[in-house]
Amino acid sequence: MTYNLILRIVSKTVIPLISVFALYVQFHGDFGPGGGFQAGIILGSSIILYALIFGLDAAEKVIPSIILRLLASLRVLIYAGVGLVTLFLGGSYLEYSVLADTQIAGQHLGILLVELGVGIAVFALMLIIYFAFAGRGRP
């Protein structure tokens, strides 16, 4: 992409805001609209915006694709693992109430972990797909 000063300055200002907003959507999802899926997409789009403006190589330096693959697999494992943990704690699969002493606390912890799993998995997978598509254009 050709060097474009306005795009660079604007995106440098906007990308941190988008990332913080993604975190807000992630961790405020219990109380307001949003949740893991939306947060992952928003965080992913901030990196994609960075890749569009500053080039694919710069974006892959920010997050190497091997880390993305690890993140995606790990987070799916964490989601499924929460289910296994609740099984071992004597509940049924994904029954969060057994995770902590009280039902409310257990549900809260379970929902938080699961949403985090969804968010990071979606973030990593969106970037994997984008990098795969955009990487094809390279000579």
- Residues making contact with another protein (CB under 8 A): 25, 29-38, 41-42, 44-45, 48, 52, 69, 72-73, 76, 79-80, 83, 93-94, 96, 103-105, 107-108, 110-111, 114-115, 117-118, 121-122, 124-126, 128-138
Residue nearer to another protein on the CB measure, 54 or 130 = 130
State in angstroms the smallest separation of the CB of 59 from another protein: 12
Q: Name which of 50, 73, 74, 75 is nearest 61 in CA terms.
A: 50
Please, is 3 exposed, middle or buried when counting C-beta atoms within 10 Å of its C-beta (0-12, 13-18, 19+)? Answer: exposed
Cβ within 8 Å of residue 18, ≥6 positions away: 42, 43, 45, 46, 49
Nearest to 51 by CA among 139, 111, 129: 129
Of 54 and 115, CB closest to another protein: 115
Provide the 10 A C-beta neighbour count for residue 72: 19
Closest distance of CB 134 from another protein, Å: 5
Q: Residue 48 CA to chain centroid, in angstroms? A: 13
Nearer Cβ to another protein (54/121): 121
- Taking the complex as a whole, the smallest distance from the CB of residue 119 to another protein amounts, in Å, to 10
Q: Which is nearer to another protein, 1 or 9 (CB)?
A: 1
For the bound state, the minimum distance from the C-beta of residue 6 to another protein, rounded and expressed in Å, comes to 19
